[in-house]
């Protein structure tokens, strides 16, 4: 099959995840005169484009969608954590004498990782916040609207209030009101019959983008190079993965919204190589633990119970949040589970929702030497420069991990009886929250790739997007912040691109 690729668009967006979708949405709303094209390496999984796979009700069809997201030649897990819908970095993830990111993974599909994510959307706090972005709180609020964030979708989970009460008694002392234990804001929609649907890039695209006759989405279209002419972004080179044909598409603005590994890869392949490109790579190191709530009774079934099949989340599910603070530099995600993840002793069946999983996330000690590098002599499965991760934990990182273990044990003891002897530290890369590789900054001083509106230094007309733009050390889930920053970038394009007369 062949497709008709345009010779010219006003804005070319590379990547169809939540951040690429945010550019398409804002520009569709604010600049309906523009011709927009979104190029996605992976396949279209479902209708509407970008749908979260958990909203696919047929189990077999959902599994097929996950498998189709796992790249052209998925690497063997070799004992590493391989989540459905993602594929591990085949090699180069750990170098001799370094910690590396053994669980470094990506997704290739329309909607990107937004088709597979957990939908947690907490706001950053204290030093997680980016101090130089104008109107950050307004941008975060707009991002919550685009993602459909709801902090109260699971308020009727039978033990949710009790979980938060116990956590608050143990952890809230000395915290500001906005940093106390609270429900986790989630990008979900609660329906009248009790079902919950998860937001993917489809929600961010919205009808505003889908109804825009000037926006076109091209699945299975690999952008191999950003064109630069006279120092400005001038378009993209696209390989049609269906027939292998190559197309040069001119554009007045280019947005690269791949992920924190493939966005710098594309810039590198395009000869755009600022000193900070790929550097300051950071992951959120993760401690997990599980407990059984003590002194709770099985509630009777009532309104709000899900259908019990497919991807529904039942009324027993709930997610609580222990926010990051500079004094307690961790982000806690506390999830009630409908079944125990480990075998339980005794004859009594646990009450649904009484098994609670705790995940504590730690920020990285940021260093320029933590980086993803690219090899022009070797290629990955897509024919792009091969990646090699350089990554080490510092003494500060290890000290934070020790503190996090103590903190999660304290939280667990407040809730009930631990199911394991000690908390478990997941292998690095497990969070999938890679950041910093195209980070923003206030000055073109070699420590950042783009400015506060995500426009690349010294390459006017080229924007970058995604978690890689975040310059601070964060512990909270980064998607809300990265979508907020994408909104700022899209606004600049809408404001500065001349009116088009077609």
Each residue's pLDDT tens digit, 193-202: 878 899 999 9
Domain membership flag for residue 290: yes
Residue 449 and residue 486: Cα distance in Å, rounded?
A: 15
Domain membership flag for residue 448: yes
DSSP 64: H
pTM of the model: 0.95
Average pLDDT over residues 476-495: 98
Does 357 share its domain with 488? no
Does 136 share its domain with 78? yes
Q: How would residue 302 be classed by pLDDT, with cut points 50, 70 and 90?
A: very low
Does 64 share its domain with 130? yes
Using alpha carbons, select from 44, 91, 313, 24 the residue that is nearest to residue 197. Answer: 313
Phi (first) and psi of residue 460, to 5 degrees: -55, 145
Domain membership flag for residue 322: yes
Domain membership flag for residue 371: no
Which string of b and e fits 423-455 if b means at least 16 CB within 10 Å?
bebebbbbbbbbbbbbbbbeebeebbbbbbbbb
CB 426 within 8 A of CB 288: yes
pLDDT of res. 308: 41
Average pLDDT of the residues of the chain: 92
Does 226 share its domain with 138? yes
Average pLDDT over residues 79-101: 94
Domain membership flag for residue 375: no
Q: How would residue 206 be classed by pLDDT, with cut points 50, 70 and 90?
A: very high
Q: Which domain holds residue 6?
A: 1-148+199-281+434-502
Each residue's pLDDT tens digit, 254-291: 999 999 999 999 999 999 999 999 999 999 999 999 99
Domain boundary among 427, 442, 475: 427
pLDDT of res. 304: 42
Domain membership flag for residue 192: yes
Q: How would residue 307 be classed by pLDDT, with cut points 50, 70 and 90?
A: very low
CB 456 within 8 A of CB 449: yes
Residue 312 and residue 28: Cα distance in Å, rounded?
A: 32
pLDDT of res. 82: 85
Share of the chain above pLDDT 90, in %: 84
Q: How would residue 312 be classed by pLDDT, with cut points 50, 70 and 90?
A: very low
CB 163 within 8 A of CB 318: yes
Using alpha carbons, select from 319, 318, 316, 317 the residue that is nearest to residue 301. Answer: 316
Domain membership flag for residue 385: no
Domain boundary among 411, 427, 443: 427
DSSP 427: P
DSSP 377: E
In the numeric block, which tokens belong to residue 4? 């008709």
Does 217 share its domain with 324? no
How many domains does the chain fold into? 2
Does 98 share its domain with 172? no
Q: How would residue 78 be classed by pLDDT, with cut points 50, 70 and 90?
A: confident
Does 243 share its domain with 344? no
Does 267 share its domain with 307? no
Collapse the DSSP code of 286 into the 3-class scheme (helix H, G, I; strand E, B; otherwise coil) and give the result.
Answer: strand
Active site residues: 433
Does 297 share its domain with 185? yes
CB 396 within 8 A of CB 402: no
CB proximity list for 140: less than 8 A, separation 6 or greater? 123, 480, 481, 484
pLDDT at position 488 over 90:
yes
Does 334 share its domain with 443? no
pLDDT of res. 350: 72
pLDDT of res. 300: 56
Q: How would residue 237 be classed by pLDDT, with cut points 50, 70 and 90?
A: very high
Query: Residue 255, CB half-sphere, CA atoms under 13 Å: how many?
Result: 37
Does 204 share its domain with 194? no
Domain membership flag for residue 334: yes
Does 122 share its domain with 141? yes
Alpha-carbon separation of residue 436 from 104, 163, 198, 451 (angstroms): 15, 34, 27, 13
CATH number of the domain enclosing 455:
3.50.50.60
pLDDT of res. 349: 65
pLDDT of res. 140: 98
pLDDT at position 222 over 80:
yes
pLDDT of res. 377: 95
């Amino acid at each position: 099959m062949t497709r008709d690729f345009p010779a010219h668009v006003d804005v070319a967006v590379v990547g169809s995840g939540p951040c690429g979708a945010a550019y398409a949405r804002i520009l569709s709303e604010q600049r309906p005169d523009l011709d927009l094209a979104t190029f996605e390496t992976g396949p279209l999984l479902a209708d509407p484009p970008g749908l979260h796979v958990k909203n696919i009700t047929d189990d077999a069809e959902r599994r097929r969608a996950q498998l189709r997201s796992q790249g052209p030649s998925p690497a063997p897990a070799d004992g590493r954590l391989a989540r459905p819908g993602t594929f591990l970095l085949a090699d180069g993830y750990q170098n001799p004498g370094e910690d590396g990111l053994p669980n470094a993974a990506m997704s290739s599909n329309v909607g990107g990782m937004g088709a597979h994510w957990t939908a947690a959307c907490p706001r950053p706090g204290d030093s997680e916040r980016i101090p130089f972005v104008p109107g950050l709180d307004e941008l975060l609020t707009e991002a919550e609207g685009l993602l459909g964030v709801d902090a109260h979708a699971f308020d009727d989970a039978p033990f949710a209030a009790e979980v938060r009460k116990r956590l608050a008694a143990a952890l809230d002392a000395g915290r500001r009101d906005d940093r106390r234990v609270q429900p986790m804001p989630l990008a979900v929609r609660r329906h009248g019959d009790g079902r919950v649907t998860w937001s993917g890039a489809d929600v961010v695209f919205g009808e505003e983008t889908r109804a825009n006759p000037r926006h076109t989405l091209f699945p299975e279209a690999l952008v191999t190079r950003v064109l630069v002419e006279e120092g400005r972004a001038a378009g993209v080179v696209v390989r049609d993965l269906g027939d292998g044909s190559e197309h040069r598409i001119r554009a007045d603005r280019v947005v690269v919204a791949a992920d924190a590994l493939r966005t710098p890869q594309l810039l590198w392949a395009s000869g755009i190589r600022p000193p900070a490109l790929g550097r300051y790579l950071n992951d959120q190191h993760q401690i997990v633990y599980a407990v059984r709530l003590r002194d709770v009774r099985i509630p009777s079934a009532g309104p709000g119970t899900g259908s019990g099949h497919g991807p529904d989340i039942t009324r027993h599910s709930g997610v609580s949040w222990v926010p990051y603070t500079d004094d307690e530099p961790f982000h806690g995600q506390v999830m009630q589970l409908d079944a125990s993840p480990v075998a339980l002793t005794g004859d009594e069946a646990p009450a649904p929702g009484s098994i609670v999983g705790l995940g504590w996330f730690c920020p990285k000690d940021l260093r320029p030497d933590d980086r993803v590098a690219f090899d022009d002599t070797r290629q990955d499965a897509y024919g792009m420069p091969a990646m090699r991760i350089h990554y080490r934990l510092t003494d500060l990182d290890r000290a934070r991990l020790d503190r996090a273990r103590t903190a999660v044990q304290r939280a667990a003891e407040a809730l009930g009886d631990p199911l394991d002897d000690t908390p478990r530290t997941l292998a690095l890369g497990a969070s999938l929250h890679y950041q910093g590789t195209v980070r923003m900054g206030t000055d073109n001083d070699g420590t950042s790739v783009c400015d506060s509106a995500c426009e690349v230094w010294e390459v006017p007309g080229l924007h970058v997007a995604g978690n890689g733009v975040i310059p601070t050390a964060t512990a909270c889930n980064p998607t809300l912040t990265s979508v907020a920053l994408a909104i700022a970038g899209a606004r600049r394009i809408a404001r500065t691109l001349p009116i088009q007369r077609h």
